[in-house]
Amino acid sequence: MNEQSSPVLEISSLSAGYGRFDVVRDIGLSVGKGEAVALLGPNGAGKTTVLRAIMGLVKQRRGLVRIGATNVSDLPTHRIARGLAAIAPEGRRLFLDQSVEDNLLLGALHLRRDQARVERLLTSVYDLFPVLRNYRHRLSSFLSGGEQQMVAIGRMLMSDPEIMLLDEPSVALSPVAVDIVVKAMLELRKRGASLLLVEQRIDVATRVCDRLYVMTHGEIVEEMTPDTVRAGGMSILSKYLG
Ligand SMILES: Nc1ncnc2c1ncn2[C@@H]1O[C@H](COP(=O)(O)OP(=O)(O)OP(=O)(O)O)[C@@H](O)[C@H]1O
Ligand SMILES: [Mg+2]
């Protein structure tokens, strides 16, 4: 992270959960402007809950979440989704009975009065994933898993957010599709995007990210870099990830 600039996402003392128990406990993390940070951890660690808490989708949350200069801790999701944060969620959550382009446009609902900007964003998504340009009028249900993941990432880009949250974008994809998704994330970094990437695949996280946090049982237990992973940290990571 560039120490001079303040982080684009800053979380401190965040606790969040669903019922009587917090599944995320007192965590802190930050993502700098233009930085890519991974959140690694086994099934059930609380990774998705962190992303949902950032988006305001988890009711039970305490602590501070700041995006840019805005404290979003008490903001409703529809305000946060208006250009502060956007998510490519677990399971992609596309409207399968709608076209690729209609799914993409859903990400830019708050920008609909600025059609020129929406057009520019659409072009940038189609430049990132050219196959989607060819399929733009096709029903999303006809796409492969990899192509559906591209739409989910594209919809996230359409809101032009300060921080992009990706929840296991590589899961259940073929090696070729994983490679396309990784290259897209690297291209987003070139464009200056700030990313928080939830992953279970260490290779994907180390290819894309500057720093990695490891989460188990709702707590952040390690912070590493791709270099420290390569210099022996892999055994520590494997221990946590199983
Ligand atoms: N809507 C919900 N209601 C109640 N409990 C939930 C809900 N969603 C998740 N949990 C529980 O919270 C814990 C953390 O779940 P979370 O989905 O954040 O984990 P995760 O790290 O994303 O796991 P995975 O890698 O399997 O996606 C789990 O024990 C899960 O059962
Ligand atoms: Mg999850």
Inform me whether the pLDDT recorded for 136 exceeds 80.
Answer: yes
- Please tell me the residue having the least CA distance from ligand 1 atom 26: 43
Q: b vs e for 49-82, b when ≥16 Cβ sit within 10 Å of the residue's Cβ?
A: bbbbbbbbbbebbebebbbbeeebeebeeeebbb
Torsion from C-alpha of 195, 219, 171, 155, nearest 10 degrees? -40
Burial of 99 (0-12, 13-18, 19+ CB in 10 A): middle
Residues with CB under 5 A from ligand 2 (ion): 48, 90
Domain positions in the chain are: 9-241
What is the rounded distance in angstroms from the CA atom of residue 144 to the CA atom of residue 209? 26
Strand partners, 17: 22, 60
Amino acid at 237: L
pLDDT in tens, 80-104: 999 999 999 998 999 999 999 999 9
Pairing of strands 9-17, 22-31: antiparallel
User: What is the residue with the minimal CA distance to atom 24 of ligand 1?
Assistant: 43
Q: 211-216 and 36-40: which strand pairing?
A: parallel
> Is residue 179 predicted with pLDDT exceeding 80?
yes
Reported as a single tens digit per residue, the pLDDT across 185-236 is 999 999 999 999 999 999 999 999 999 999 999 999 999 999 998 888 788 8
Residue 17 structure tokens: 């959960």
DSSP summary character for residue 59: S
Atom 27 in ligand 1: residue holding the nearest Cα: 43
Joined together, the tokens standing for residue 100 give 């690729």
65 lines ligand 1 (CB under 6 A): no
Residue 178 confidence (pLDDT): 96
Instruction: Name the CA dihedral angle for 144, 149, 155, 158, rounded to a multiple of 10 degrees.
Output: -110
Cα–Cα–Cα angle for 132, 136, 142, rounded to 5 degrees = 85
218 Cβ inside 6 Å of ligand 1? no
The response to whether residue 47 sits with its C-beta less than 6 Å from ligand 1 reads yes
- Average pLDDT across the chain, whole number: 94
Cα 233 to middle of ligand 1, angstroms: 26
The partner residues of 211 in beta bridges, in order of sequence, read 37
For ligand 1, atom 28, the nearest C-alpha belongs to: 44
Instruction: Check: CB of residue 56 under 8 Å from CB of residue 77.
Output: yes
Distance of CA 231 to the CA centre of its chain: 27
User: Which class would CATH give 9-241?
Assistant: alpha beta
Of 24, 84, 94, residue with least CA distance to 53? 24
In the numeric block, which tokens belong to residue 233?
């940290």
Which residue in the block uniquely carries the two structure tokens 């199983």?
Answer: 242
Q: So what's the pLDDT on residue 5?
A: 67
